[in-house]
Structure 1
Amino acid sequence: MAGAREPLRRVGMFGGAFDPPHGAHRALAEAALEQLQLDRLHVLPTGHAWHKSRTLLPAHHRIAMCERAFGDLPRVRIDPRETEREGPSYTADTLSELSTEYPGAELFLILGADQLLAFKTWVRWQDVLSHATLAVANRPTSIGPQALLGEAPETDLSSVDIPFVRLNMPLQHLSATAVRARLAGGAADGPPLDVLVPGAVASYISQHHLYQTPT
């Protein structure tokens, strides 16, 4: 049919708490778009995080920060669907929906090395593999509050026995845990906020006085 759009052939899913989205998240999205030659990348803030013991910041704040962190990147869509589901939100369900929305497309799940090591604890992880190729960026072995010190070596993935492709990017000594600790005063000597997170995210955090107490 004249004027019909070409179907999207390579689609990525980048999920996470994004509590808050930080510089390493942005770098990972940029690497995925370029190296996987994605036609579209869905950035999906987590809804009810079944695997996290702490309470996440309300979804509307995390969505707003994602819009500021990733919204200017080409071919990115901030996708709130997981925050709108009732009950726990599972990656397998989202990938099933995306496979229906993009028939015939090759799907990629973007994740960090720490998530890859825990992958077999995910609900219906076999279904995830049936829908998508795992695209993995390595991370330091320590991503807690001390991550900003930048002293931890990269994670050893040599024992992983599931298929994945590597995303080539510099090791990012940054984590949301470290950023929250910095904002709560647990790392007062650390870098300024606008170095840790995109500038528009830093402004949003300051405007709404987020992360002022330890989480």
Structure 2
Amino acid sequence: MRIGIYGGSFDPPHYGHKNIAEFVIKELSLDKLLVIPLGIASHGKNSLSLSEDRMKMCELTFGDIEKAVVSPIEINMEGVSYTFKTLEAVIKDMGEDNEYFEIIGEDSANYFDKWKEYKKILELSTVVVLKRKGFKNVVDSPKMITVDNPYFNISSTEIKEKIRNGEDVSKFLTNKTVKFINTKNLYK
């Protein structure tokens, strides 16, 4: 099987994330895409919403994509979340006979050589780099491919700011996700 691994804070997950998921499933002919909300950030940015809220928002956002599966693997892991550890856990769980694709943005590829055990990540998977304006990939490896993906010009940070300001965010988030955010009173 061809398995994609798409991790992120997903706080909140928006149409850009959903469009990327649909795009990589098609572009890479994936049999399955694991959407993995971040457990404990390695970059010290732990002002995230509760894990169970991010998990639920991911289920609401990605749930109708046929080959996408939201996985709590990082949330359930002990300690800081590192991509190589997540990959090892996924491979242990799903088997070594599959082909794995780690999906990252070009903003992350811009400093990929600083990632913990980045060479191990390249051993375990093909790293698929999604283009982001103003960034470039710094690692030259045959196990790293860049795809020409559609852009979505909004970030979760900007969406949270709009919610705090009482602005309508329905063009950025699924209706179910908006309803969940309102019910839980998130980002106020």
Q: Taking structure 1 as the reference length, what is the TM-score of the superposition?
A: 0.81
Which shifted more, 65-74 or 157-166?
Answer: 157-166
- Aligned residues of 2:109 and 2:137 also touching (Cα < 8 A): no
For 1:73-88, list aligned pairs within 5 A. Answer: 73-88=65-80
**How many pairs were matched up?**
186
Tell me the distance in 1 between the aligned counterparts of 2:16 and 2:65.
15
Counterpart pick for 1:157 among 128, 136, 141: 136
Per the alignment, do residues 33 and 84 of structure 1 end up closer, same or farther by CA in structure 2, a change over 3 Å counting? same
1:211 aligns with 2:176: no
SS of residue in 2 equivalent to 1:86: coil
**What amino acid does structure 2 have at the position aligned with 1:44?**
I
Tell me the distance in 1 between the aligned counterparts of 2:183 and 2:137.
44
In angstroms, what is the RMSD of aligned CA positions? 1.7
1:177 alignment partner in structure 2:
157
2:44 alignment partner in structure 1:
52
- The gaps in structure 2 that reach 5 residues or longer are none
**Structure 1 runs, 4 residues or longer, greater than 3 Å off:** none
**Deviation (angstroms), 1:158:** 6.3
- Aligned residues of 1:111 and 1:137 also touching (Cα < 8 A): yes
For 1:187-198, list aligned pairs within 5 A. Answer: 192-198=168-174
SS of residue in 2 equivalent to 1:195: coil
For residues 88-113 of structure 1, the C-alpha deviation after alignment (integer angstroms, 9 at most, x for no partner) is 01110111122232322110011111
Tell me the distance in 2 between the aligned counterparts of 1:34 and 1:79.
20
Q: Taking structure 2 as the reference length, what is the TM-score of the superposition?
A: 0.92
For 1:14-33, list aligned pairs within 5 A. Answer: 14-33=6-25
Counterpart pick for 1:105 among 98, 108, 111: 98
**What amino acid does structure 1 have at the position aligned with 2:159?**
V
Tell me the distance in 1 between the aligned counterparts of 2:138 and 2:115.
18
**Deviation (angstroms), 1:182:** 1.3
- The gaps in structure 1 that reach 5 residues or longer are 1-8, 140-153
**What amino acid does structure 2 have at the position aligned with 1:120?**
D
SS of residue in 2 equivalent to 1:72: coil
**Deviation (angstroms), 1:125:** 1.1
**Deviation (angstroms), 1:17:** 0.7
1:115 aligns with 2:105: no
Counterpart pick for 1:95 among 67, 73, 87: 87
For 1:121-140, list aligned pairs within 5 A. Answer: 121-139=114-132
For residues 117-165 of structure 1, the C-alpha deviation after alignment (integer angstroms, 9 at most, x for no partner) is 12122111111111111112112xxxxxxxxxxxxxx224265434422
Tell me the distance in 2 between the aligned counterparts of 1:156 and 1:51.
19
**What amino acid does structure 1 have at the position aligned with 2:176?**
A
Tell me the distance in 2 between the aligned counterparts of 1:156 and 1:93.
26
2:4 alignment partner in structure 1:
12
